[in-house]
Structure formats: structure tokens, C-alpha cells
Amino acid sequence: MSARDNISRVTSLLEQAGYQELTQPIIIGGIPFEAAAILAKDKWLELITVIDTVLDADAVALRGRIEGLARALDLVESRRALTVILVGPRPSQTLDSELKQVARVLSVPAGAEAAESALTDALAVLLPLDLSSGSDEAVTSWSDVQARLRGKYADEEIEPIFEAVTHGEAQVRSALRETLVEPFETR
């Protein structure tokens, strides 16, 4: 599997989630930037840069490009968060730490040995949640959802959360706090 195939797998998955690949080079603050792929999503404040770590093996140059892109976004007062997806061999721990100071960094395994599920797991924070229950049955009401959840999470400790849902957000917050936070505060 070629380097371009690995990038295509990543961009294809992100495009299925609604991201669009941008024409390169992108110009930010008058400075051109290029990468294996650059994506964004309408109305989402995120810019995704996909880097092939085989082709961009020079850690110093890679760090400089990513830091420059992050600075350019800051200078134009962009509200977009920067996410860097590294496809291929993992970078050194030093480079990874340096990049994480200016961007969210996701590492994706490359090659034919990387299963589709591994790719989806690596990019999960960028993808929509799959709330399907695994069955073909359609959920038609809150009572159906509640019945399924009670069947899955039968526990008297979470019952107050189910009851609070019908009383509004403030009640849910209170029930969640009582169930999930307060037991740990008393330790």
C-alpha cells in the first residue's frame, strides 16, 4: 500500500463525516501552507492537517511547518483549532510532545495491516458518534430508549438519572452529580 493510499483512507473517512478537502496551498495571513491533505468542515472551528510521516520524515522541518501554521492561525485571530493527523510510523516522543503544545495530534497506523476499525478508532474524536444499538429495531420514543438503557444498565444507583430526565436539565445535572461525583468527594 502506497503512502498516497494511506492518506486517501484517512481523507475518505473524514469526507464521509462531512469534512471537505481544501485546495492547496492554503493561505493564512498571506503565508502558504501545504500538507498531504488539509481538511475543514463548514461551521466547525477546526482545521485538520494530514501528514505522511514517511514522506515528511524530517522532524525539525515538520515541527517548524506545524508551529508556523499554528502561529499564523493565532496571528489572524482564527478561532479554528488545529488538528494534526500523523499517518505512518509514529514520530519520536519529543516531536509528539512538541506538536501537542500547538495542536491536537492523532496518530494513525498505516499500511494494509491497519484494519478499518483501527483507523476509525484513531480518528474517533473527529467522527460523529454512532448511537445505534446494533439492532435493526427503530427507536420510536424516550420510553423505548429508557427501557433499552435500563436493560443494559440495570443498577439502582443510576435510576435517579432516568427519573430526572423528565424533569429537565437542572435535575439531570443534580442526579448526575449525586450519582457520579459526590461518592468520590467523600473519600
Residue 131 maps to a domain: no
Q: Do both 21 and 77 map to the same domain?
A: yes
**Of residues 39 and 160, more confidently modeled:** 39
Cell numbers at 25, concatenated: 496551498
Residue 74 maps to a domain: yes
pLDDT at 89: 84
pTM above 0.85, yes or no: no
Element at 13 (helix H, strand E): helix 3-16
Contact 94, 101 (CB under 8 A): no
Beta bridge partners of 15: none
Side chain identity at residue 159, one-letter code: E
Beta bridge partners of 38: 49
Q: Do both 97 and 152 map to the same domain?
A: no
Beta bridge partners of 47: 40, 82
Residue 169 maps to a domain: yes
Query: Nearest to residue 66, comparing CAs of 38, 89, 88?
Result: 38
Element at 172 (helix H, strand E): helix 169-176
Residue 134 maps to a domain: no
* Boundaries of domain holding 27: 3-126
Residue 107 maps to a domain: yes
- Label residue 63 by pLDDT band (50, 70, 90): very high
Domain CATH number, residue 16: 3.40.1350.10
Cell numbers at 40, concatenated: 475543514
Contact 79, 92 (CB under 8 A): no
Beta bridge partners of 106: 85
Write out pLDDT tens, residues 123-143. 888 888 765 555 556 666 767
Q: Do both 153 and 98 map to the same domain?
A: no
Rounded mean pLDDT, 142-161: 71
| Residue the block writes with cell 442526579 | 175
Task: Compute CA 37 distance to the chain's CA centroid, rounded to the nearest angstrom.
Answer: 16
pLDDT at 161: 78
Q: Do both 72 and 146 map to the same domain?
A: no
Query: Nearest to residue 25, comparing CAs of 41, 13, 36?
Result: 36
pLDDT at 173: 86
Angle between helices 93-100 and 59-75 (to 10 degrees): 0
Cell numbers at 15, concatenated: 469526507
Contact 165, 142 (CB under 8 A): yes
Residue 52 maps to a domain: yes
| Residue the block writes with cell 446494533 | 134
Q: Do both 38 and 119 map to the same domain?
A: yes
Q: Do both 78 and 42 map to the same domain?
A: yes
- What is the number of domains present in the chain? 2
Q: Do both 23 and 75 map to the same domain?
A: yes
Rounded mean pLDDT, 110-123: 73
Query: CA 106, CA 100: separation in Å to the nearest integer?
Result: 9
Cell numbers at 8, concatenated: 486517501
Q: Do both 83 and 122 map to the same domain?
A: yes
Q: Do both 106 and 17 map to the same domain?
A: yes
Residue 88 maps to a domain: yes
